[in-house]
Amino acid sequence: MKSFYLLSFIFLAHLALGQAPDFFAHNCAGETQSLHQVLSTGKALVVASEGFDCSICQSKAAQLENRATNDSDRVVTWAAMTYTYSNQQPPCSELSRWDSVYAWETIFSFLDSNEYFFSLGTPRYLVYSPVDSSQIYVGSDEQQAYTQARQAAQQLLHRAPRPLLDNLHLQQQGGRILLRGLPQQPGQLQVFNLAGKRIYQTALRQGEENIPWQGYAPGVYLFHLRYPGQVKTLKWTHQGGR
């Protein structure tokens, strides 16, 4: 049996109690997706915890790709790949072979190196809602997972239009960044680098916010804003030298 079962179970149980923390998934092609960034598009996220050595996972792999494709208008599908019955670290060649054999194109697959999503067996499905970034399902029923994911996305779709975050923009002024176009209500801001490290957070005031921006290396940063019922992620490229 794998180690850290109890720790993983406690951690995932904690996620179900409210907003899930952000998670940055990196595939073997060097591409990155963020849990909160996916949800900010208004789509639900299904994370399938799959085992390379899991016979059930193998038998249902093609079906999972079909479901991911059919529901892609409202649902994004990740596959967190690991070994179910071994503590060995799977290589990228294993992931490449799997994607090729089962023709995975829609599914964003990555190695679950730290067993972040693994707990007690595979296949297992975790569903996150775009309404409030909470975990709304965890279990082994694939059909139920996608049903709840679509319902959550539809719930957000059918809400009254909320264009409050459409006018946001960033502007660097010397050693600060001015964030303009904020809604006239309290919100929260978190800033991440592309490695997934949170480098700044603050409560947002109404209208605009001045963000200290000195000492940061050139590169791409993600500004994640959250308001009741609304989330938005802005990508900012810092050129440095200012």
Looking at domain 5-157, its CATH architecture is 3-Layer(aba) Sandwich (3.40)
Would the pTM of this model clear 0.85, i.e. be above it? no
The answer, yes or no, to whether residue 215 has pLDDT greater than 80, is yes
Query: What is residue 134's DSSP assignment?
Result: B
pLDDT of residue 137: 97
Residue range 163-238 in CATH 3.40.640.10: no
Taken as a whole, the chain contains a residue count of 242
Rounded mean pLDDT of 118-139?
Answer: 94
What does the mean pLDDT of the chain come to? 86
Tokens representing 26 are: 């990196």
3-state SS class at 156: helix
Q: Do domains 5-157 and 163-238 have the same CATH topology?
A: no
Q: Residue 84: which of 123, 113, 139, 47 has the closest Cα?
A: 123
> Domain-by-domain residue ranges, the chain?
5-157, 163-238
Question: For residue 17, what are the contacts with CB-CB under 8 A and spacing of at least 6?
Answer: none
Instruction: Read off the pLDDT of residues 192-207 as tens digits, 9 standing for 90 and up.
Output: 988 888 899 999 877 7
Tokens representing 30 are: 């060097």
H helices of the chain, in order, are: 5-15, 35-39, 55-70, 92-101, 142-157
pLDDT of residue 89: 93
Rounded mean pLDDT of 5-13?
Answer: 37
